[in-house]
Amino acid sequence: MTQRPQWPLGHHDRLGFGADYNPEQWPREVWDEDIRLMREAGVTIVSVGIFSWAHLEPAEEQWDFAWLDEVMDRLHAAGIAVDLATATASPPPWLTAKHPEILPVNERGETLWPGGRQHWRPTSPIFRTYALRLVEKLATRYATHPALAAWHISNELGCHNAYDYSEDAAAAFRAWLQARYGTLDELNAAWGTAFWSQRYSDWSQILPPRLAATFPNPTQQLDFKRFSSDALREYLRAERDVLRTHTPHVPVTTNFMVMLGNPWPMDYAAAASDVDFVANDHYLRPGPQARDELSFSANLTAGIAGNRPWFLMEHSTSAVNWQPINTPKLPGELARDSLTHLAHGADAICFFQWRQSKAGAEKYHSAMVPQAGEDSDIFRSVVALGATLRTLAPVVGTRRERARVAILVDLDSWRAVQADSHPSDRVRYAQEALDWYTALLDLGIGADAVPVAALFDGRATLDGYALVVAPILHLVDARTRDALISYVDGGGHLVATYLSGIVTEHDHFWPGDFPGALRDLLGVRVQEFAPLRDGESVTLESAFGPLTGTLWTDKLDVIDADVLARYASGWLAGRAAVTRRAHGTGTATYVSTRLGPAGLRPVLTELCGRAGVVSPLPAAARGRVELVVRSGPSGRFLFLINRGDEEVAIEDLAAVAGGPVEIIDAPALAGSSDGASGLRLGPRGVAVARQPTTVSS
Ligand code: GLA
């Protein structure tokens, strides 16, 4: 097998810095200014052509590459590399006018109109023919262009068109099901079609879960999500294979959307194997945990990438345009957000977009060059960040050091638990995972976000983690159950929450009492689920002090476990709420209600104490600073990230690092030296300290 190129060509000795660049929106005079400002900012790489199909092929088989040739040449002359898009994300009007049958269809059977973007069916053979023709044209034309550093397939695959219910999708879904199940009997068993007279007697009867009289079959819904992800991946590989045929030397990527909102349209943990390097887009979700969510997503992206360096393809310099209220970032946040991604293993920091559009749906979206122009705090912050990334070049290629705590993330659990017809539609898988991450950061402890899928292909292992958190690990297959049992058998400490272990990979209950797959390991049985209403809460009496539960409770029987907390109010008063079973030399703790970050802190304090996990930070900095360490042959780099708006002093940084450190000085870094080994970390600031790697003899 030939070795694939792993990283944008020419980017092995510097951190990437840049943006989506859309010169087709601007006259040539502006291009001149763009290049001047890019040089001033220290831009090293831009993504070009993402939405330019209508400019490259203005009418069928009429090609216009002259403008792109010129853009590529100008960028190259300025020393700026190009992550060249395949331009297939948004089909031009002539194509949808000629072939309206490429347009996606929603669950009601309504065809979506063109006029926005990404209005194409992932399974449309017609769309694919036109798209791959364009990809081939670009690949052959630019194969040897010296600016070409990487290929950027489509854009955020599935962002707007993940779930298509068209006839094309129906045919592809049936083929996918035939490959998965082989026979109708297997499918009928997996989908539990004995229920509601849903038994299929011919493959042609099977449809996507279109709008039905009431809840469509849950396994059909779950399989449709899996299928839709696979359809996007199949499309991704079709473009990739064209590119690899013509430019085997050029690495290929596409921008994922690893964020904690809704279940992802594409299984990124799986799709990482389809690309040469992982790239991600991240946008903040407003709220009290916004910064922590960014950190968690960056952390998880590293987990998806198997802790290889990854590429932050997009984030924003300031406000976006697509939330109900779009507030700007506060001073320091542009740098802090960027450097948090860097801390978690990004070797390139890019934005959407280079220059703020003057027309179109995203004209209110921030950019590296805002409407206010270069005389603006945003552009000054961009320039400062560019200079800082140059100073931080030795970080390139280092890897994030492993934490002692892992938080498991499982897309199928996320999909299944948030499906319809469950005990509560208020359950938010990602929020529960984030709460544990926040609570750990509050204690000054970092955790690795680990995709469950990565445990089975060599990207990750539970070995070596002192504590493993399984938030709402709802869908558990036999191998995952076995991995958790052997982790605890081997002396590990596992903590699982409410709704874990309930269903199999087919979304059927595990046999016997809840929590099914984890019942024996946890030593408890759930007689009944008892979700709480909005605004309702219960108090708990515990060894950790009083706690408050919301969202969920279980009517729990203890079979073989110690009770660490009991419900003290409500109809379950007196019954167990938090339990622990010793198993081999390890322990398995169960938390049956939502405690939120404040309630999880005392639970985690006790658990971390038991597991021997200690914060490396001094007491005064715990909770206020996130510490992430990258290391490699060029040294250990300690990223100290101020989570809050107040200055934080760390008196003895050498004690944190376990040896002498040098605080790196650069314009976007907020750390200043305070005494011999002291650090003052400004509001929302990030400091980076370097420690030479000791070479053991
Ligand atoms: C996504 C897209 C970009 C742009 C930004 C706006 O990330 O990939 O094209 O629309 O959102 O935030």
Q: What is the mean pLDDT of each successive set of 10 residues along the chain, which is 697 residues long?
A: 82 96 97 98 98 98 98 98 98 98 98 98 98 98 98 98 98 98 98 98 98 97 98 98 98 98 97 98 97 98 97 98 97 98 98 98 98 98 98 97 98 98 98 98 98 97 98 98 97 98 98 98 98 98 95 98 98 98 93 98 98 97 98 96 97 94 95 78 96 63
Residue ranges in 289-428 assigned as alpha helix (H) = 290-304, 333-343, 377-391, 411-417
pLDDT of 49: 98
Contacts with 447 (C-beta within 8 Å, 6 or more apart), sequence order: 299, 403, 405, 406, 407, 436, 437, 440, 469
Tokens representing 637 are 């780099």
For a mutational test of ligand 1's pocket, the pick from 280, 323, 352, 362, i.e. the residue with the most ligand atoms closer than 8 A to its C-beta, is 352
SS3 100: helix
For a mutational test of ligand 1's pocket, the pick from 83, 118, 154, 281, i.e. the residue with the most ligand atoms closer than 8 A to its C-beta, is 281
Atom 3 of ligand 1, residue of closest alpha carbon: 352
Contacts with 132 (C-beta within 8 Å, 6 or more apart), sequence order: 238, 239, 242
For the Cβ of 366 lying below 6 angstroms from any atom of ligand 1, the answer is no
Q: What CA–CA distances, in Å, run from 482 to 1, 366, 460, 477, 518?
A: 33, 48, 16, 9, 10
DSSP state string for 531-584: PPPTT-EEEEEETT--EEEES--EEEEESS-EEEEEE-SSTTTTSEEEEEEEET
Query: How far apart are the C-alpha atoms of 613 and 448, rounded to whole Å?
Result: 13
* Residue 18 CA, ligand 1 centroid: distance in Å: 15
Determine the straight-line distance between the first and last CA of the chain, rounded to whole angstroms: 36
- Total H helices, total E strands in the chain: 18, 28
* Residue 631 CA, ligand 1 centroid: distance in Å: 32
pLDDT of 6: 87
Query: How far apart are the C-alpha atoms of 344 and 494, rounded to whole Å?
Result: 24
For a mutational test of ligand 1's pocket, the pick from 25, 51, 314, 323, i.e. the residue with the most ligand atoms closer than 8 A to its C-beta, is 314
* Residue 329 CA, ligand 1 centroid: distance in Å: 17
Query: How far apart are the C-alpha atoms of 364 and 330, rounded to whole Å?
Result: 17
Query: How far apart are the C-alpha atoms of 217 and 202, rounded to whole Å?
Result: 17
Atom 5 of ligand 1, residue of closest alpha carbon: 352
Class of residue 285 by CB neighbours under 10 A (exposed 0-12, middle 13-18, buried 19+): middle
Atom 4 of ligand 1, residue of closest alpha carbon: 352
Q: Closest Cα to residue 16, out of 412, 477, 386?
A: 386
For the Cβ of 319 lying below 6 angstroms from any atom of ligand 1, the answer is no
Rg (CA), the chain: 26
Task: Indicate which residue of 57, 293, 314, 333 is catalytic.
Answer: 314
Which ligand 1 atom sits closest to the C-alpha of 316?
Answer: 12
Active site residue 234: no
Tokens representing 346 are 């990004």
SS3 346: strand
* Residue 352 CA, ligand 1 centroid: distance in Å: 6
For the Cβ of 168 lying below 6 angstroms from any atom of ligand 1, the answer is no
SS3 448: strand
SS3 340: helix
pTM, rounded to two decimals: 0.98
pLDDT of 2: 61
Q: For 503-535, write each residue's pLDDT tens digit.
A: 999 999 999 999 999 999 999 999 999 999 999
* Residue 115 CA, ligand 1 centroid: distance in Å: 16
Query: How far apart are the C-alpha atoms of 515 and 520, rounded to whole Å?
Result: 9
Active site residue 156: yes
Query: How far apart are the C-alpha atoms of 67 and 359, rounded to whole Å?
Result: 20
For the Cβ of 282 lying below 6 angstroms from any atom of ligand 1, the answer is no
Tokens 């958190």 sit on residue: 469
Contact 301, 344 (CB under 8 A): yes
For the Cβ of 128 lying below 6 angstroms from any atom of ligand 1, the answer is no
pLDDT of 697: 34
For the Cβ of 352 lying below 6 angstroms from any atom of ligand 1, the answer is yes
